[in-house]
Chains A and B, each alone.
Chain A
Amino acid sequence: NAGVTQTPKFRILKIGQSMTLQCTQDMNHNYMYWYRQDPGMGLKLIYYSVGAGITDKGEVPNGYNVSRSTTEDFPLRLELAAPSQTSVYFCASSKTGTYNEQFFGPGTRLTVL
């Protein structure tokens, strides 16, 4: 099993550009999450999904969109990139909710200039 994979690993965007961060898991997990981590800070939840076709906002959803058309994939879309979106983005998945371990992908380092 590859676990949770994310692409790209690194990206530099100009202000106003858009991009999609890809996330795929091969563990047949129902739950998937997107977090961002700013330097010296904990992870903050952007969006999450409890199954294909179901998504909901987390703590910091503004400027982002998600979709979940399959169990495996959970892409995160950035529209009109801003410098405040410079961060490390982690995708994670878990089998079920509250009591289950979340498995993280290796992250995408995004810089917006």
Chain B
Amino acid sequence: RKEVEQDPGPFNVPEGATVAFNCTYSNSASQSFFWYRQDCRKEPKLLMSVYSSGNEDGRFTAQLNRASQYISLLIRDSKLSDSATYLCVVNGSPGSSNTGKLIFGQGTTLQVKP
């Protein structure tokens, strides 16, 4: 089983649609979770951290279910500019070793069409 697994897509949606991405992780001791966004041929950039209570940033909502080891990202009212690859990221060294090592999923590609 992959350490972080995502549906690669692509997801092709019209503008204004709501789209949800799912991600599962294998290490139950993982402590920190993130969604990064990567535009074509660019570097990844942090979209949002994911907290146990769930968190929202404008049109974006992230949820964490520790019992199921599952993370989600919901994008409402999709814009053309949301077209990108979304990377699910989990810390790779849970426990006392604070190395900052991250495990990346392979990414889910979103294409928003007019």
By a beta-carbon cutoff of 8 Å, the part of chain A in contact with chain B is 31, 33, 35, 40-45, 48, 50, 56, 58, 90, 94, 96-102, 104-107
Check A40 against B8 for contact (C-beta < 8 Å): yes
* Contact A48:B99 (CB < 8 A) given known A40-B8, A43-B44: yes
Check B46 against A48 for contact (C-beta < 8 Å): no
21 contacts between A and B (CB under 8 A): A33-B102, A40-B8, A40-B106, A42-B87, A42-B106, A42-B107, A48-B101, A50-B98, A50-B99, A90-B44, A96-B98, A96-B100, A97-B93, A97-B99, A98-B91, A99-B49, A101-B34, A101-B46, A104-B44, A105-B43, A107-B43
Assembly CA distance A40 to B8 (angstroms): 8
A41 surroundings in chain B (CB, below 8 A)? 106
The total of Cβ contacts below 8 Å across the A-B interface reads: 67
- For the complex with contacts A40-B8, A97-B100, 15 further pairs of A-B residues with Cβ separation under 8 Å are A31-B99, A33-B101, A41-B106, A42-B105, A43-B87, A94-B100, A98-B91, A98-B98, A99-B49, A101-B34, A101-B46, A102-B46, A105-B43, A106-B42, A106-B43
Q: Which residue of B lies closest to A102 (CB)?
A: B102
Is the CB of B25 closer than 8 A to any CB of chain A?
Answer: no
Chain B interface: which size bin?
A: 20 to 34
A42 surroundings in chain B (CB, below 8 A)? 4, 87, 103-107
By a beta-carbon cutoff of 8 Å, the part of chain B in contact with chain A is 4, 8, 31-32, 34, 42-46, 49, 87, 91-94, 98-107
Query: Shortest distance in angstroms between B90's beta carbon and chain A's nearest beta carbon?
Result: 11
Check A48 against B42 for contact (C-beta < 8 Å): no
Assembly CA distance A56 to B99 (angstroms): 10
